[in-house]
Chain A
Amino acid sequence: MRRTRNDRGGDTLKRSWRRPHTLLSGTLTGMAWLVALLACAPLFSVLYMLVVKGGARLGTEVFTELPPVAFEPGGGFGNAIVGTAVMVGIAAALSVPSGILTALYLREFGRGTKIANVARFCIKTLTGMPSILAGVFAYAAVVLLTGGYSAPAGGVALSLLMLPTVVLTAEEALGMVPKATREAAYGLGCTPTQVALKVVLPQALPGAMTGIMLAVARASGETAPLLFTALFSDYWINQLGRIELMEPTASLAVLIYNYSGMPFENQIELAWAASLVLVVLVMLFNAAGRALSAKQQRNR
């Protein structure tokens, strides 16, 4: 029998840094570490700037006051927070019910039908649509129709971006409900609607909520669809005691965009503070979505 190197005592099983491919392997691992740390750097840089620059300006007045004019000191962006909330609310009111109903059809009632497949294809395509095109569409479909920039126009644009997330995550959550549960419900004589609404949907709810939370998080940070649908406004949404939805509406994202390039220190500080508020808002919704999806996985 030929003696292999291993027979002489197994020393080749020990890692020796002098062997070229161990060395190469080690070098590559080191570089991978470096690249991974490098990739984290932007996030920490952004967060650092937000806390330092935005945090310095954060006070109660930014939540309660209106944006300042050019050389005025102070001011805030209370109206922008309200505007963002209103428009995201409109978008959610449009996209959540229709999204859940579509998901129910895709997974429960019309599974495998031609229209379900076409709809799923459309929704997946919609996922990749650039957000600015949602704005262009809402401009053509709502602004031109109603004759002016308004909060609903912004809401429609945002709802287009929320819809795919809501549908696809809800559909996935519905699909995770075990088949046996459905069969048991049918066995008791439930109609398909009762099975879907009373048995399947409650179980899939945390998963569907994850999608809704992620969609809300995304929509609150979107700027491009609002630029020429909601525009911006320096005033509160309720003027003289009336809520004026059909007027240009402020939003945090557009405020940051407008102020980012201004030559005034005050406005730039406000842009950072608004960014901090926006990022905290987005991260909160993200974390909520994540917690819900963890809950869904524990339930299974």
Chain B
Amino acid sequence: MQSRALQELEARAAVARLPGPRERWFDRGFRGGTKIVTWLVVLLSAYIVWEIGSNAWPAVRTFGPGFLTDSAWDPNNGRFGVLPQIWGTLYSSILALLMAGSVGLVIAVFLSEGFLPRRVESAFRYIVELLAAVPSVVYGLWGIHVVIPLLRPAANWLHEEFGWLPLFETSLSGPGLFPAALVLAIMVLPTVAAISQDAIRAVPDRMREAVYGMGATRWQAIGKVILPAAGSGIFGALVLGLGRALGETMALAMLVGNSNQISLSLFSPANTLAASLALNFPEAGILETQALMYAALILLAITLLVNLAGAWFVGRSARRLEGRL
């Protein structure tokens, strides 16, 4: 017995010892290595901006700010402008956000306020998350062969009956803004639903108990207390959803129709910044490549601003709710 205890003590003494010189060198080297890699990640981010910026620079100098307000994209005559692309990007994203936002918010409430048994709730959540796992090119294929044929009769009926409204000015002959926005909405939905769910779950249970204790129905509690308390986070979720929609490329490139026009009509073909990059880059000449780099720089700036704003709102909501506890 005693000898065994002694052995253990010795073994322990052998483990608990000061690191030797080689271990210390390795330690210093490894820690230095991770620091260098971290620096490289920072430099990489700067390099991305610099690389896109420097390639865009000739076009920035040639076209200047007029690039943003010119609506011609004419490689043959060297005239380039991205106003229609910016219009299409904003129009399709906002349309998608309207759809994804309303559905996503309902789903977030539905999945976090105890409407369903736990099991069903997590099954639903899994399905919504799977929506995000489907690659965008598959959504594009699905959009071409399912969504557009499905929408066409309804769209053309709307055009015939309400053609005097600018929204239904044109008929839907193939690709168009609305099918693209609809598919975009499906792709943005998981982002909006997931982040708003986090915001709603972060609302302290005490607040719920207090409202229910006052005799409120579930929807009164949701509408008057829970949603307002999570408001900032939900807004942040919408902004981050917008950030995703603005940068989404493939589904739009396949469904939006690649036509540089500014139209209010939901069914006319349009274009977006990201889609025109995807569609024009492979065959672009030198001048057009520079103009596309300029467009990429604009896209980078827009998405950066929107994402930073979204992250700020989400962070503020989390901080506030924690402070309230």
Q: A residues near B, CB below 8 A?
A: 21-22, 24-25, 28-29, 31-33, 35-36, 38-40, 42-43, 45-46, 49-50, 53, 98, 101-102, 104-106, 109-110, 115-116, 118-119, 122-133, 135-137, 139-141, 160, 163, 167, 187-194, 197, 217, 220-224, 227-228, 231, 253, 256-257, 260-261, 268, 271-272, 275, 278-279, 282-283, 286
Interface string of B37-76 (1 = CB under 8 A from A): 1111110110110011001000000000000000000000
Name the one of A131, A140, A279 contacting B55, with C-beta atoms under 8 angstroms.
A140
Cα-based distance from A25 to B223 in the complex (angstroms): 11
Contact A43 B30 (CB under 8 A): no
Name the one of B17, B37, B137, B249 contacting A105, with C-beta atoms under 8 angstroms.
B37
Chain A residues in 8 Å Cβ range of B106:
31-32, 35-36
Cα-based distance from A132 to B278 in the complex (angstroms): 7
Taking the nearest CB of chain B, how far is it from the CB of A211, in angstroms?
15
Cα-based distance from A35 to B185 in the complex (angstroms): 14
Name the one of A36, A193, A223 contacting B137, with C-beta atoms under 8 angstroms.
A223
Known: A140-B55, A224-B274, A286-B133. A188 touches B249 (CB 8 A): no
Other CB < 8 Å A-B pairs besides A123-B45, A132-B278, 17 of them? Answer: A21-B217, A25-B217, A40-B127, A45-B142, A101-B33, A105-B34, A105-B38, A115-B35, A123-B41, A124-B311, A130-B299, A191-B26, A260-B141, A261-B254, A278-B135, A279-B138, A286-B133
Known: A98-B41, A115-B35, A133-B296. A194 touches B249 (CB 8 A): no
Q: Which residue of A lies closest to B222 (CB)?
A: A28
Contact B48 A160 (CB under 8 A): yes
Is B246 close to A, CB under 8 A? yes
Is B101 close to A, CB under 8 A? no
Is B214 close to A, CB under 8 A? no
Is B206 close to A, CB under 8 A? no
Taking the nearest CB of chain B, how far is it from the CB of A133, in angstroms?
6
Name the one of A53, A189, A223 contacting B19, with C-beta atoms under 8 angstroms.
A189
Is B248 close to A, CB under 8 A? yes
Is B146 close to A, CB under 8 A? yes
Known: A45-B142, A193-B30, A257-B137. A283 touches B130 (CB 8 A): yes
Contact A101 B247 (CB under 8 A): no
Cα-based distance from A61 to B11 in the complex (angstroms): 62
Q: What are 25 residue pairs bridging A and B, where the CB atoms are less than 8 Å apart in the complex?
A: A29-B219, A35-B110, A45-B146, A46-B138, A49-B146, A53-B145, A98-B37, A98-B40, A102-B34, A105-B34, A109-B34, A130-B299, A133-B48, A136-B292, A137-B51, A140-B52, A140-B293, A192-B31, A197-B30, A217-B133, A221-B136, A223-B135, A224-B249, A257-B250, A279-B135
Interface string of B283-310 (1 = CB under 8 A from A): 0000000001100100110011001100
Cα-based distance from A137 to B278 in the complex (angstroms): 13
Contact A256 B281 (CB under 8 A): no
Chain A residues in 8 Å Cβ range of B27:
191-194
Chain A residues in 8 Å Cβ range of B250:
223-224, 257
Chain A residues in 8 Å Cβ range of B307:
125, 127-128
Contact A282 B293 (CB under 8 A): no
Chain A residues in 8 Å Cβ range of B84:
none
Contact B137 A221 (CB under 8 A): yes
> Which residues in chain B, 116-135, are within 8 Å of chain A measured between CB atoms?
124, 127-128, 130-131, 133-135
Contact B303 A129 (CB under 8 A): yes
A-B contact count (CB 8 A): 248
Cα-based distance from A29 to B131 in the complex (angstroms): 23
Is B24 close to A, CB under 8 A? yes
Is B115 close to A, CB under 8 A? yes
For A129, A135, A271, A283, the residue with the greatest tally of chain B CB atoms inside 10 Å of its CB is A129
Chain B residues in 8 Å Cβ range of A132:
247, 249, 274, 277-278, 296, 299
Contact B217 A42 (CB under 8 A): no
Contact B304 A125 (CB under 8 A): yes
Contact A272 B38 (CB under 8 A): no
Is B240 close to A, CB under 8 A? yes
Is B18 close to A, CB under 8 A? yes
Chain B residues in 8 Å Cβ range of A36:
106-107, 110-111, 124
Cα-based distance from A163 to B37 in the complex (angstroms): 12
Cα-based distance from A106 to B218 in the complex (angstroms): 43
Known: A105-B34, A283-B130. A136 touches B249 (CB 8 A): no
Chain A residues in 8 Å Cβ range of B134:
43, 46, 221, 279, 282
Contact A137 B303 (CB under 8 A): no
Cα-based distance from A275 to B146 in the complex (angstroms): 14
Name the one of A39, A261, A275 contacting B189, with C-beta atoms under 8 angstroms.
A39
Contact A29 B34 (CB under 8 A): no
Cα-based distance from A261 to B299 in the complex (angstroms): 26
